[in-house]
Structure 1
């Protein structure tokens, strides 16, 4: 890396394993669309999701070791990871825009074979948006706020502990909000403790969101197979819920 500025990766089993796990999850979705909830569905879901979580834990563990403990990341590597994550966010935005676009397109056009001209289609009772959906939205916004607070506390702790060239203005800013010790020094564990509390609150809010969404699915009067309305609704909210679950775990 000293010659190129980039990290030369050793062979890793995680990319191909992640691809296999994603293929298994896609196959699980096809099984659900064709046969519904059955023992084949639960078996495929259990194996694929367990493999997916196992791969993520080990892959991200390797990334943390390489960057934090082995010191293999240069500024070039950090820059490429940052741009890669930006492109990932853009792809996520287009993914959800496509699902939302299909929902709106069929909402203003033909709704389904069984109820042309009606949205939602006849026989489907939609969920009330200003009840549990509104509560879940508030929980999600609150979890974003607590996650950002935790990030700020972690940055303050790291700045005061590890950045020897930090500007005096930064130290003064953190000192105003931090807890003072004898001699006027700042208690950096003040920020660490509050970061832990903010993370715990974020996790609780994420679990609450997932639980309420599961209740919403249980109480819904329509299923995935009820035309374009049911399929787009469950795909859109299901993938969004999956993002929340992964964020809560990791």
Structure 2
């Protein structure tokens, strides 16, 4: 490991993990493209790429963890980590803002336009005279296959309680780290992880119900935005739960001190982010 002088930014030795990650992503995407074009080897390449990607994650994060636990990182590095995580979460905010914007456009703007507002009544009557305002909309001519609306009760409401409760437990674990209460750290993280995976399970149950009602990605603009927003959010909850699982194992091994625990803070920031996004989803997708 490269030597570091206190007060200077740590420069690690050359790492093999970036090129390993690039090869893994190339295999995943190239294999998937080949699979879509009928190649029998496409899926095998994608699976190999995914396995290599997981190996890269363990190797690269393991290196960073060892550097952190050895006291290599100083305030310079800590600040760069915080800035990097802040910008990453900001990019995620913009990602979800695009889908919320699509929902706003389709519901608040496009439906009135289809009714003739701002576009000329004559055009409306000639093209979509029989269209009537309803949400979820099937569009003119009932192009969508379902106008089913997923209500907020009971599963979405229950999932809201679960996710907000997980935000409380991860905050409890954070305060326990600052107070150096190892048992409370572990209990708080365990409860957070359990609640996170319970949320994902119940969302799967909800999807089964939606499909039984005929709502799919192709069943209209509501179905499209519903599955895109909730699906990507569920993926983020899954990733956040995996991150916190790693934090749980690290806490069991005695990692994190009141002064040095940014890895936990980064995962907690991410978890609070998915909490806030879910509140927006619950209000604008389920309730309104």
Q: Settle same-fold status: TM greater than 0.5.
A: yes
Q: 1:90 to 1:43 in 2, by over 3 A?
A: same
2:224 counterpart residue number = 231
Q: CA shift at 1:234, angstroms?
A: 1.6
Higher relative contact order (CA 8 A, sep 6+): 1
Instruction: Select between 202-211 and 52-61 the one with higher mean Cα deviation.
Output: 52-61
Conserved in 1, the CA contact under 8 Å of 2:147 and 2:220? no
Q: Provide, for residues 3-23 of structure 1, a one-character-per-residue CA deviation record: whole Å limited to 9, x for no partner.
A: 881121333343344456567
Q: Which moved more, 1:17-26 or 1:47-56?
A: 17-26
Match of 1:109 in 2: 109
1:149 aligned residue: 172
CA distance in 2, matches of 1:28, 1:155: 46
Scaled by the length of structure 1, the TM-score of the pair is 0.70
When residues 211 and 223 of structure 1 are mapped into structure 2, their CA distance, relative to the original with a 3 A threshold, is same
Task: Summarize deviations over 1:35-54 as a string: whole Å, max 9, x none.
Answer: 9xxx9998787556555444
2:184 pairs, out of 191, 194, 201, with 194
For residues 116 and 68 of structure 1, do their structure 2 counterparts lie closer, same or farther at Cα, with a shift above 3 Å needed? farther
CA contact (8 A) 1:110 1:117 kept: no
Which 5+ residue runs of structure 2 have no aligned equivalent?
115-127, 139-145, 244-288
Deviations, residues 104-132 of structure 1 (Å, cap 9, x unaligned):
111123369x9785431232201111321
Cα distance in 1 between the residues matched to 2:28 and 2:230: 16
The answer to whether 1:215 aligns with 2:205 is yes
Distance in 1 of aligned mates of 2:32 and 2:165: 31
Q: Deviations over 1:46-72 (max 9, x none)?
A: 556555444333322211111112x32
Report if aligned partners of 1:7, 1:72 keep a CA contact under 8 Å in 2: yes
- Per the TM alignment, residue 212 of structure 1 is displaced from its structure 2 partner at its CA by 0.3
In structure 2, the CA distance between the partners of 1:73 and 1:41, relative to structure 1 (3 Å rule), is same
In structure 2, how many angstroms separate the alpha carbons of the residues matched to 1:223 and 1:143?
29
The equivalent residue for 1:121 is 137
**Separation in 2 of the partners of 1:193 and 1:68?**
20
> 1:84: Cα distance to partner?
0.8
Query: Which residue matches 1:74?
Result: 74
Please tell me the root mean square deviation across aligned C-alpha atoms, in Å. Answer: 3.5
For the 8 Å contact 2:136–2:148, the answer to whether it is kept is yes
**Aligned 1:162-173 pairs, distance under 5 A:** none
Q: 1:11 aligns with which of 11, 14, 18?
A: 14
Which runs of 5 or more residues in structure 1 are unaligned?
A: 158-190
